[in-house]
């Protein structure tokens, strides 16, 4: 408790250390030392993202700022940052456009905007992201607006900054009435961006058009003071508390923008193009803010079909935010959502979330017209796996085939996590320690289709077939995992089989004989052994020579680089080695797992396998035993 109290005290002290107050003259000295203090909103947001680090993976830029929340959207995020935020930060014309995130429900649009908001709040607490404003300004205005227009070229040249915008009506009156035009004495303070405090971050949501007032955006007359000041055009009789006012210096979010009444959208025309908006009986009010909105595809299509919206359309940049198409990233989405819930009493078996991810990603993929590629192969290629007959360049070609379309429909993560939640509750509510397996999850996904009112009969049949495909994928993983656990000293067995295969392949490729380790006699390469392994992955007799030469090239490449070549160094060879070992052991596994009354030796073997599944593969006793029974039934078919 004392440690917690100390942390609270330290937090208060750190917040106090962020406070800064001075005059406009003091602020000019700050800007002279560090011109980035006066950066515009778009530049602040871009620099905030870049400050977390950038790396390039497979030719795609990955921004670490998004790493913990958004998965599988690297390409969309790269486009967002490089095609919109980066040029906007450099003051190119793109900053005069509204950013519209368009994509299916549950695709991450709201999460992306929420991350930008939270990121801005944190960044404004750093020296690099510090924001300074005229003290008392309801719009937290940039102090450089105090500089008269006639003097701005001189100030810009001396300080190395650009000054855009004019004083808001409140500050204009304040400078004239309280300071007699002595702008150098006007107080300036550091402000911390905060959505909760309505400082630099605004949010606007559509509601009933009949009751929603434009004052929510632009502020309203203060009827309590209008009698005192006598005019609606007096800034003291007006509340500059609309969302556009409060979002100045940061970010303005329009939730479901295209659901808004037209009168609200009209205000965005001037704001986007000229950086100002109209409020009350005042001149245009300057605002420096990134306007970001989101909508779904059907609403966007209806919006662009309406000719009355052409002016606003030209001021919008649309950024598609599709569903994730990588199974491994889809698993990370579910893991994140499950962690956020109170499910500590429920164990989720290995591959349970993977099976759900396979189903959801399959539902989002489009059938390629290219020969030899089905949805499962496409799914594996997108996830970075090697597939025979395909190269990395083929993956890019597959992406381009349905660019802008693939990932814009299919099963959304919310549905999947709802069904996983249902499985957890159903199986875990009456148990102190329950376990959810892949079969439980797939069963729950199937049951949920009957309760989904928007799914057509044709779509339901398609999704049912994809659940069957996901189960087949899981069946292969389950068999492989159990068979692997049955193999004593699996790694050693695989290594021995690999070395034996490589010795024979080397002799075959070099047209040499091989020395028998037992008799010390020279003999021809063991064709039967090599073919027994190669046939596991469908290498034909005609293709065996090319396959063996490919292995030798890979082996030579590893040797030149000083790397160790093992059975995992070549994806297809790894699969062939595993399948060969499993084929030799299949009968043992089947008999052991299906015996109702195992003898002592069989029971010992079962206990060893269960222990290995628990210790090495993340199973609990319950799901390990259930896995053995399930695989036994598969092998008996």
Residue 426's H or E segment, with its range, is: helix 413-428
Give the count of alpha carbons within 13 A of 287, CB side only: 36
**pLDDT higher at 260 or 79:** 79
Q: d(Cα 480, Cα 578) in Å, to the nearest integer?
A: 8
Nearest to 393 by CA among 424, 422, 370, 374: 370
- Please state the rounded mean pLDDT for residues 549-571: 87
Q: Find out whether 320 and 408 touch, Cβ atoms under 8 Å.
A: yes
Q: d(Cα 279, Cα 240) in Å, to the nearest integer?
A: 9
Q: Find out whether 433 and 345 touch, Cβ atoms under 8 Å.
A: yes
- Please state the rounded mean pLDDT for residues 568-589: 80
Q: Find out whether 637 and 479 touch, Cβ atoms under 8 Å.
A: no
- Predicted pLDDT at 343: 64
Nearest to 422 by CA among 408, 436, 409: 436
Backbone torsions φ then ψ of 239, nearest 5 degrees = -95, 110
Q: Give SS3 for 54.
A: strand
Q: d(Cα 38, Cα 152) in Å, to the nearest integer?
A: 14
**pLDDT at residue 283 is higher than 70:** yes
**pLDDT higher at 231 or 159:** 159
Task: Report pLDDT digits (tens) over 452-479.
Answer: 777 888 999 999 999 999 999 999 999 8
Q: d(Cα 352, Cα 437) in Å, to the nearest integer?
A: 5
Q: Find out whether 452 and 601 touch, Cβ atoms under 8 Å.
A: no
Which residues lie below 8 Å from residue 509, measured CB to CB, with a gap of 6+? 548, 549, 552
- Predicted pLDDT at 489: 54
- Predicted pLDDT at 430: 56
- Predicted pLDDT at 277: 87
Q: Find out whether 163 and 157 touch, Cβ atoms under 8 Å.
A: no
CB atoms closer than 10 angstroms to residue 323: 27
Can you read off the two tokens belonging to residue 469? 């495909």
Q: Find out whether 245 and 219 touch, Cβ atoms under 8 Å.
A: yes
**pLDDT at residue 432 is higher than 80:** no
- Predicted pLDDT at 488: 64
Which residues lie below 8 Å from residue 603, measured CB to CB, with a gap of 6+? none
- Please state the rounded mean pLDDT for residues 168-187: 93
DSSP letter assigned to residue 249? T
pTM (2 d.p.): 0.84
Which residues lie below 8 Å from residue 627, measured CB to CB, with a gap of 6+? 349, 437, 478, 481, 482, 613, 619
Task: Report pLDDT digits (tens) over 528-538.
Answer: 999 999 998 88
DSSP states along 173-220: HHHHHHHTT-GGGSEEEEE--BTTTTBSEEEE----TTT--THHHH-E
- Predicted pLDDT at 255: 86
Could you give the residue ranges of the DSSP H alpha helices within 260-401? 262-274, 297-305, 310-313, 327-339, 352-364, 375-382, 392-401
- Predicted pLDDT at 217: 86
**pLDDT at residue 209 is higher than 70:** no
- Please state the rounded mean pLDDT for residues 405-409: 90
CB atoms closer than 10 angstroms to residue 75: 17
Q: Give SS3 for 523.
A: strand
Task: Report pLDDT digits (tens) over 38-97.
Answer: 999 999 999 999 999 999 887 889 999 999 899 999 999 999 999 999 999 999 989 988
Q: d(Cα 621, Cα 595) in Å, to the nearest integer?
A: 19
Residue with tokens 């994928």: 473
Q: Find out whether 485 and 491 touch, Cβ atoms under 8 Å.
A: no
Q: Find out whether 334 and 416 touch, Cβ atoms under 8 Å.
A: yes
Strand partners, 285: 277
CB atoms closer than 10 angstroms to residue 213: 10
Q: d(Cα 545, Cα 193) in Å, to the nearest integer?
A: 66
Can you read off the two tokens belonging to residue 212? 């929603």
Can you read off the two tokens belonging to residue 52? 């977390």
Q: What is the mean pLDDT of the chain?
A: 87
Task: Report pLDDT digits (tens) over 588-617.
Answer: 777 777 777 777 777 787 888 888 888 888
Nearest to 103 by CA among 325, 334, 384, 312: 325
Question: Of 13-22, 143-152, 514-523, which has the strongest mean pLDDT?
Answer: 143-152
**pLDDT at residue 342 is higher than 70:** no
Sign of the dihedral through C-alpha 352, 357, 363, 367: negative
Could you give the residue ranges of the DSSP H alpha helices within 57-203? 74-79, 86-89, 109-123, 152-159, 169-179
Q: Find out whether 484 and 574 touch, Cβ atoms under 8 Å.
A: no
Q: d(Cα 215, Cα 240) in Å, to the nearest integer?
A: 9
372-381 long-range contacts (CB < 8 A, ≥24 apart) are 373/398, 375/469, 376/469, 376/473, 379/327
Q: d(Cα 505, Cα 511) in Å, to the nearest integer?
A: 10
- Predicted pLDDT at 78: 94
Residue 484's H or E segment, with its range, is: helix 457-486
Percent of the chain with pLDDT over 70: 97
Q: Which of these ranges, 80-89, 267-276, 393-402, has the smallest mean pLDDT?
A: 267-276
């Amino acid at each position: 408790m004392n440690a917690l109290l100390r942390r609270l005290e330290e937090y208060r002290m750190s917040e106090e250390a962020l406070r800064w107050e001075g005059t406009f003259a003091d602020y000019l000295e700050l800007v002279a030392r560090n011109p980035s203090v006066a950066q515009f909103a778009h530049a602040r947001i871009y620099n905030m993202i870049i400050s977390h680090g950038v790396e390039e993976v497979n030719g795609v830029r990955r921004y670490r700022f998004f790493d913990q929340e958004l998965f599988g959207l690297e390409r969309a995020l790269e486009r967002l940052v490089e095609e919109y935020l980066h040029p906007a930060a450099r003051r190119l014309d793109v900053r005069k456009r509204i950013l519209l995130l368009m994509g299916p429900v549950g695709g991450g649009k709201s999460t992306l905007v929420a991350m930008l908001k939270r990121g801005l709040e944190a960044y404004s607490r750093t020296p690099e992201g510090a924001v300074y404003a005229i003290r008392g300004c309801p719009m937290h205005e940039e102090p450089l607006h105090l500089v008269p227009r006639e003097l701005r070229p001189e100030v810009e040249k001396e300080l190395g900054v650009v000054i855009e915008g004019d004083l808001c009506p409140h500050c204009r009156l304040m400078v004239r009435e309280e300071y007699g035009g002595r702008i150098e004495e006007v107080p300036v303070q550091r402000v911390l961006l905060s959505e909760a405090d309505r400082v630099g971050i605004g949010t606007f949501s559509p509601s009933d058009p009949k009751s929603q007032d434009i004052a929510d955006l632009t502020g309203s007359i203060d009827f309590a003071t209008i009698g005192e000041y006598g005019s609606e055009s007096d800034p003291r009789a007006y509340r500059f508390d609309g969302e556009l006012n409060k979002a100045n210096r940061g970010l303005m979010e329009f939730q479901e923008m295209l659901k808004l009444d037209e009168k609200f959208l009209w205000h965005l025309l001037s704001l986007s193009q000229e950086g100002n908006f109209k409020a009350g009986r005042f001149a245009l009010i300057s605002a420096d803010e990134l306007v970001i909105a989101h909508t779904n595809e059907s609403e966007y299509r209806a919006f662009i079909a309406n000719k009355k919206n052409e002016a606003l359309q030209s001021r919008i940049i649309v950024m598609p935010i599709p569903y994730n198409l990588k199974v491994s990233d889809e698993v990370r989405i579910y893991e994140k959502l499950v962690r956020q819930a109170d499910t500590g009493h429920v164990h989720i078996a290995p591959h349970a979330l993977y099976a759900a991810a396979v189903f959801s990603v399959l539902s989002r993929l489009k059938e390629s017209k290219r020969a030899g590629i089905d949805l499962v192969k496409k799914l594996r290629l997108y996830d970075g796996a090697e597939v025979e007959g395909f190269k990395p360049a083929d993956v890019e070609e597959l992406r381009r085939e349905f660019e802008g379309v693939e990932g814009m429909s299919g099963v959304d993560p919310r549905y999947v996590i709802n069904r996983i939640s249902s499985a957890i509750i159903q199986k875990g509510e009456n148990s102190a320690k329950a376990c959810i397996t892949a079969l439980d999850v797939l069963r729950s996904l199937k049951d949920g289709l009957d309760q989904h009112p928007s799914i057509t009969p044709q779509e339901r049949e398609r999704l049912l077939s994809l659940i069957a495909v996901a189960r087949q994928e899981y069946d292969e993983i389950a068999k492989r995992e159990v068979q692997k656990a049955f193999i004593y000293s699996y790694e050693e067995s695989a290594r021995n089989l690999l070395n034996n295969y490589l010795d024979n392949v080397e002799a075959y490729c070099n047209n040499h004989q091989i020395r028998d380790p037992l008799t010390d006699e020279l003999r021809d390469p063991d064709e039967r052994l090599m073919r027994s392994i190669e046939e596991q992955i469908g290498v034909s007799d005609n293709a065996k020579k090319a396959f063996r030469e490919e292995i030798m090239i890979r082996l030579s490449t590893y040797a030149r680089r000083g790397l160790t070549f093992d059975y995992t160094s070549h994806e297809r060879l790894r699969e062939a080695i595993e399948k060969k070992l499993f084929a030799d052991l299949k009968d043992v596994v089947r008999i052991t797992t299906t015996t109702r009354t195992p003898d002592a030796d069989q029971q010992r073997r079962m206990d060893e396998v269960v222990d290995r599944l628990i210790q090495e593969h993340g199973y609990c006793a319950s799901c390990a035993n259930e896995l053995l029974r399930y695989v036994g039934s598969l092998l008996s078919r």
